[in-house]
Chains A and B, each alone.
Chain A
Amino acid sequence: MAKPIAERRQGVGFITPLLVLMLAAFNLPILYMLTLGFWSKEGGFTFEHYAQLLDTPIYLRVLANTMRVSLVATLVNVAIGYPLAYWMRGLSPRAQFIAVSLVIVPFWISILVRTYAWIVVLGNNGMVNRLLLWSGMVDTPVSFLYNELGVMIGMANVLLPFLVLPLFAAMLRIDDRLMQAAASMGAPNHTIFLKVFLPLTLPALAAGTLLVFILCLGFYVTPAILGGGKVTMISNLLDILINQIPRWEQASAVSTLLLIVTLAIFAGYRALDRKVGT
């Protein structure tokens, strides 16, 4: 309902502090970061940092690397998360509560602690390797750490709740009677899953997958620790450009590229979502 203009102006007064805070603390730094990339050392406008992005193979290689690691970590997440959420849906309410708690508990533990915990689990002398050696499945320890495998395992672990929780919530909303009706109509169980259950979870799955993928793109701690400096993702590159060889302009250009790629992926998702939704 349209309110009188005077009344609407009154409302603006209340949110002004928040608007100012958002602008000053959040939007202005981003704007500053974006403009830095167009600022030459001598002062004035330049494209040289972006030209360097394209000329130096390392930048695009790191971007491609980031995409690949993120994609695999996201797919692993889906492969584990979807069956997990599906299994949780079938549990009794009490068991569901316990399962949800187990998924959420890692959230409360610092990401740093969790990442180091993986070293204990996956290291050459770690639990997994000792089990593998003891069972005779391998002769020498498997290198889980300080390579892409370790990074992907670590990232999949950290991001699992971001996928499982919205997916589980969406699955809970699906009325059991839909599946019962489909069964009474003679549909075999795999048809019920593919034609009824899966399509109804797709929007939540797509949103969760996108969220996980975008979070993957910006990961820093996990690749830094579990990658042992050998797996370079964009955030680690930014760290080098800012903290080790201070080249803020170049960092700005890289960040801008990452932002554009992320927005492009999001726009693609929205376009797809709208097409499916109608």
Chain B
Amino acid sequence: MTDIRLEAISKHYGAVRAADSVDLAVAQGEFVTILGPSGSGKTTLLSLIAGLSQPSAGRILIGGRDVTASPPQQRNVGLVFQSYALFPHMSVFDNVAFPLRVRNTTADVVGDRVMAALELVQLHGMAQRRPAQLSGGQQQRVALARAFVFEPDILLLDEPLGALDRKLREELQVELKQLQRRLGVTTILVTHDQEEALSLSDRVMVLDGGQVQQIAAPQEAYLRPANRFVADFLGIANFIALPDGREAVVRPERIRLEASGGRDAIVAEAVYLGQIIRYHLTAGEDKFVAAAPFVGRPHAIGDHVSLTWDAADVWPVA
């Protein structure tokens, strides 16, 4: 278990810059999420770290060792794909045992460690099943067990929960976080789901067009986005003009709907989301989105309200 450094990593496919001089330092035991829309180069970065492809320029260091030119076999990386990539012709046990057996581990040790790994992902009763006999969530757990059973230096997760339905995804997010903490393994997760990024990681790296937009703790990136793209990508953003002509962002939950004293607006839509209610508001030419806990009597469409916010909640983005 160890740290990862990307130094000015670039990957070009012809004229396309899938990764453009990306720098990233992930500390030992840290959980970093690479977040970006599809085509942002996030999966490219992951495959470069795993050694599945070679960078056009730059260096990759794992635990201080330059692995830029090393094949994937020599990087000691646990890899989990969105499609699970379980070996369909092997049982769950044999799948998880695979990385141990290629290391010539004795059968006793293989048995113990595979069962311990399956225990951790709550699948100890399924060892003899084939992957096709498992649900999507179970298959993803097997893929996880297979990725950490050989105690890799780092864990790389490529949209690992993307193929699962929402409820299962949220359950597995919690499990994944707990597992990562327990194993203390340096982890990089790639996703386009901002909620997943914010809930799982110690830090997020927001990527667009192969370029780093911001690297920060989740709350920092959410409340103090580096630019308009980050503000927009990490949830709903209200953009307002500052007196000095700059643009600033206010998050929906920071906007209060009051009787007077702020900016006049009309409720255009009220969306009930369970825990909260989201208001879409029009204030002259401008549109706002506000979110409030769903307690008491909500505002109705057409209500005249006044929008207020604290100066501390306004963050200039450009």
List the interface of chain A (C-beta within 8 A of B). 175, 177-178, 180-188, 191, 195-196, 199-200
Q: For B143, give the chain A residue with the smallest CB separation.
A: A181
A200 CB to nearest B CB, Å: 6
Q: How distant is the Cα of A182 from the Cα of B146 in the complex, in angstroms?
A: 10
> Are B81's CB and A188's CB within 8 A?
no
> Are A181's CB and B79's CB within 8 A?
yes
Q: How distant is the Cα of A178 from the Cα of B84 in the complex, in angstroms?
A: 9
Q: Given contacts A180-B52, A184-B72, A187-B73, is CB(A175)–CB(B85) below 8 Å?
A: yes
Q: How distant is the Cα of A184 from the Cα of B77 in the complex, in angstroms?
A: 6
Q: Which of A182, A184, A188, A191 contacts B78 (CB 8 A)?
A: A184
Interfacial chain B residues near A180, Cβ < 8 Å: 47, 50, 52, 72, 79, 85
Interfacial chain B residues near A188, Cβ < 8 Å: 73, 102
Sample (19) of A-B pairs whose CB atoms are under 8 Å apart: A177-B83, A180-B50, A180-B79, A181-B79, A183-B71, A184-B72, A184-B73, A184-B77, A184-B78, A185-B78, A185-B102, A185-B146, A186-B102, A186-B150, A187-B73, A187-B99, A188-B73, A188-B102, A199-B89
> Are A200's CB and B89's CB within 8 A?
yes
> Are B88's CB and A183's CB within 8 A?
no
Q: For A191, give the chain B residue with the smallest CB separation.
A: B102
Q: How distant is the Cα of A182 from the Cα of B143 in the complex, in angstroms?
A: 12
Q: How distant is the Cα of A185 from the Cα of B103 in the complex, in angstroms?
A: 9
Interface residues contributed by chain B, number (CB under 8 Å): 25
Is B51 at the interface (CB under 8 A from chain A)? Answer: yes
Q: How distant is the Cα of A178 from the Cα of B75 in the complex, in angstroms?
A: 17
Is B309 at the interface (CB under 8 A from chain A)? Answer: no
Q: Which of B83, B89, B103 contacts A186 (CB 8 A)?
A: B103
B87-122 with Cβ < 8 A to chain A: 87-89, 98-99, 102-103
Q: Which of B47, B83, B98, B103 contacts A182 (CB 8 A)?
A: B98
A178 CB to nearest B CB, Å: 5
Is B76 at the interface (CB under 8 A from chain A)? Answer: yes
> Are A186's CB and B85's CB within 8 A?
no
Q: How distant is the Cα of A52 from the Cα of B87 in the complex, in angstroms?
A: 54
Q: How distant is the Cα of A182 from the Cα of B52 in the complex, in angstroms?
A: 11
B100 CB to nearest A CB, Å: 9
List the interface of chain B (C-beta within 8 A of A). 47, 50-52, 71-73, 75-79, 81, 83, 85, 87-89, 98-99, 102-103, 146, 150, 156
By secondary structure, the B interface counts as: loop
Interfacial chain A residues near B103, Cβ < 8 Å: 186
Q: How distant is the Cα of A178 from the Cα of B98 in the complex, in angstroms?
A: 12
| Sample of 13 further A-B pairs with CB below 8 A, known A180-B79, A183-B51, A186-B150 | A175-B85, A177-B83, A178-B85, A180-B50, A180-B52, A180-B85, A181-B79, A185-B99, A185-B146, A186-B73, A186-B76, A191-B102, A199-B89
Q: For B130, give the chain A residue with the smallest CB separation.
A: A278
> Are B150's CB and A184's CB within 8 A?
no
Interfacial chain A residues near B146, Cβ < 8 Å: 181, 185
Interfacial chain B residues near A177, Cβ < 8 Å: 81, 83, 85
Q: How distant is the Cα of A269 from the Cα of B47 in the complex, in angstroms?
A: 41
B156 CB to nearest A CB, Å: 8
Q: How distant is the Cα of A146 from the Cα of B74 in the complex, in angstroms?
A: 55
A222 CB to nearest B CB, Å: 36
Q: How distant is the Cα of A186 from the Cα of B99 in the complex, in angstroms?
A: 7
Q: How distant is the Cα of A184 from the Cα of B73 in the complex, in angstroms?
A: 5
Interfacial chain B residues near A183, Cβ < 8 Å: 51-52, 71-73
Interfacial chain A residues near B88, Cβ < 8 Å: 200
Q: For A179, give the chain B residue with the smallest CB separation.
A: B85
A195 CB to nearest B CB, Å: 7
Q: How distant is the Cα of A180 from the Cα of B79 in the complex, in angstroms?
A: 9
Q: How distant is the Cα of A188 from the Cα of B150 in the complex, in angstroms?
A: 15
A145 CB to nearest B CB, Å: 44
Interfacial chain B residues near A186, Cβ < 8 Å: 73, 76, 99, 102-103, 150
Interfacial chain A residues near B85, Cβ < 8 Å: 175, 177-178, 180-181
